[in-house]
Structure 1
Amino acid sequence: MAQEKSSGECRPRGRPQLRSDEETKQIVFDAARHAFAVDGYAATSTEELARRAGISTKTLYRLFPGKAALFEGMVADRLTRLLSDVNLKATDDLDIEKGLRAALLACADLALDPEVVALQRIILQESAEFPELAATFYENGIARTAAALAGWLRVQVGRKRIAVDDAEEAAGILIGMIASAPQRAAIFGSVPLPSRKQIERRVSICAALFLDGCRVTSK
């Protein structure tokens, strides 16, 4: 007679536990980021994306109606995660220069994040054929970052720390000062993104220029 196995040796049979749709989406987003960065948006097929993610094309189309929707979801997901780390809270115990430097540093961390710059490269390569990619990136990243900084500036105006007529315009100018030149150098000139120390120095200069200007006044 065969010896009975102890209860500790018995293992439940059946299908393995399935991933949730949200977990599967994250896997697809990771696969898509790498595929788009290497092969480009146009050259990457939905079949290739499904293969890289280890799922069927049927599952991919169930989660995303098409490649454009997948790209939009990928950009929105990544930028939402990065924006959640952007702390632009206005605290009473900070003077305006320290507070502005902290706010600008948070924006710079997002604008100069390697993955964000990589997304910009993809969009520039594909924007002529797929203009909706640029609109997606603008709405989910650039516009949301500028809106967050504009809100921070309005709080400072309300506390009479600064005088700004148009917070949205000022926010756009500030983000351009801290990020545009390093982004262009990285994308068009293959220059490495600035180090943390270099970003902090640039932020300090931008904050001082915004608050004090650089005009020499006659005595």
Structure 2
Amino acid sequence: MPEIDAQHLAPENARSLRPKAREALKAARAVFLEVGYDGATMDEIARVGGISKATLYAHFSGKAALFEELIRVECRSVNANLYVPSLEHGSIEAELRKVATNYRRIFAQREGLDIFRILIPVAPRFPRLAKVFYEEGPGASIRQIAAYLAALSRSGQMRIPDPDAAAHQLLALVTEDIKLAGALAFPAPPAREADHLINSGIAMFLAFYKA
């Protein structure tokens, strides 16, 4: 019987859900991680959660709806721990370094990657689930960074004609190695290598977009 990890679905991360719905999500997470999306059944999720199938279906119309809500909750939980840069917090370099360090820590700790691995095999068949994952997860974080870069451009501190593209470029420069390592469950690169990649990546970014 798969164990239920309540840490990823604490009430504060799913506070808009009713208690039984939260219990269903905890059970669903455990089952999905154990057997994948295709192997999971509503019967098994109800059994692991200690709830009736009638209660389960009262909150979720089916397995796809349950997995979609799980994706939303997981992504929002991860995003809640992301550093949001601001013009008021410090120098541009310092803010970008905090963003880079924060993102790398999330990938190193595998937060959110479990659900990502479950989604990848079924994404072609369920494009809606893939879209929800992107919009609630990577897309939301990109928008936060892009908003900061746009503010820098408006203030004249940097020249960034396309903040959205620049946000993608920044994250690629400072996290590409750790994203792949995390997705493949490899050990995180040594701290010295990480520092070098962050420093050089930010230097390239600032040089390219300098005012």
Which bracket does the TM-score occupy, shorter chain normalised? 0.7 to 0.9
- Tell me if structure 1 keeps the 8 A contact 2:68–2:132: yes
Structure 1 or 2, whichever has the larger Rg, is 1
What amino acid sits opposite 2:18 in the alignment?
E
1:140-198 residue CA offsets vs partner (Å, 9 max, x unmatched):
1111111111011111112222111100001111222333332223334x412457776
- What TM-score comes out, normalization by structure 2 length? 0.79
Question: Given the alignment of the two structures, is residue 64 of structure 1 paired with residue 60 of structure 2, yes or no?
Answer: yes
Counterpart code for 1:67: K
Query: Which of 20, 31, 34 is the matching residue for 1:35?
Result: 31
Q: Which residue of 2 aligns with 1:128?
A: 124
The answer to whether the Cα contact below 8 Å between 1:112 and 1:179 also exists between their aligned partners in 2 is no
Q: What secondary structure, in the 3-state scheme, does the structure 2 residue paired with 1:163 have?
A: coil
Question: 136-145 or 203-212: which moved more?
Answer: 203-212
- Number of corresponding residues: 193
- Kindly indicate whether residue 38 of structure 2 is the aligned counterpart of residue 49 of structure 1: no
Residue 21 of structure 1 and its aligned partner are, at CA, apart by 5.3
Note if contact 2:113-2:183 (Cα within 8 Å) is conserved in structure 1: yes
Q: Which of 184, 189, 198 lines up with 1:203 in the alignment?
A: 198
Q: CA deviation at 1:95?
A: 1.2
Q: Report the equivalent of 1:78.
A: 74
Secondary structure, counterpart of 1:41 in structure 2: helix
Change over 3 Å in CA distance of 1:193–1:54 after alignment to 2:
farther
Does the 8 Å CA contact 2:60/2:66 hold for their aligned counterparts?
A: yes
| Residues 90 and 156, structure 1, Cα contact 8 Å, conserved in 2 | no
Decide whether the 8 Å contact of 2:100 with 2:174 is kept in 1: yes
Verify: 1:176 aligned to 2:186, yes or no.
no
User: What does residue 102 of structure 1 align with?
Assistant: 98
* CA separation of 1:194 and 1:30: change in aligned 2, threshold 3 A: farther
Identity, % of aligned positions: 26
TM-score, normalised to structure 1, is: 0.77
Q: Secondary structure at the match of 1:40?
A: helix
Identify which range, 20-29 or 193-202, moves more after superposition: 193-202
Q: Secondary structure of the equivalent of 1:169?
A: helix
Shift of 1:201: 5.0
Please report the RMSD computed on the Cα atoms of aligned residues, expressed in angstroms.
2.5
Q: Does structure 1 residue 151 correspond to structure 2 residue 152?
A: no
Give the Å deviation of 1:68: 1.1
Query: Does the aligned pair in 2 maintain the 1:108–1:175 contact within 8 Å?
Result: no
Structure-to-structure mapping, 1:7-26, within 5 angstroms: 22-26=18-22
- Give the structure 1 partner of residue 186 of structure 2: 191
Q: Which has the higher helix share?
A: 2
* Gap runs ≥5 in structure 1: 1-19, 214-219
Q: Is the 8 A contact 2:87 2:148 kept in 1?
A: no
Cα deviations across residues 12-38 of structure 1 (Å, max 9, x unaligned)?
xxxxxxxx9522222222222221122
User: C-alpha distance in 2, partners of 1:108/1:70?
Assistant: 29
Aligned equivalents of 2:163 and 2:133: distance in 1?
22
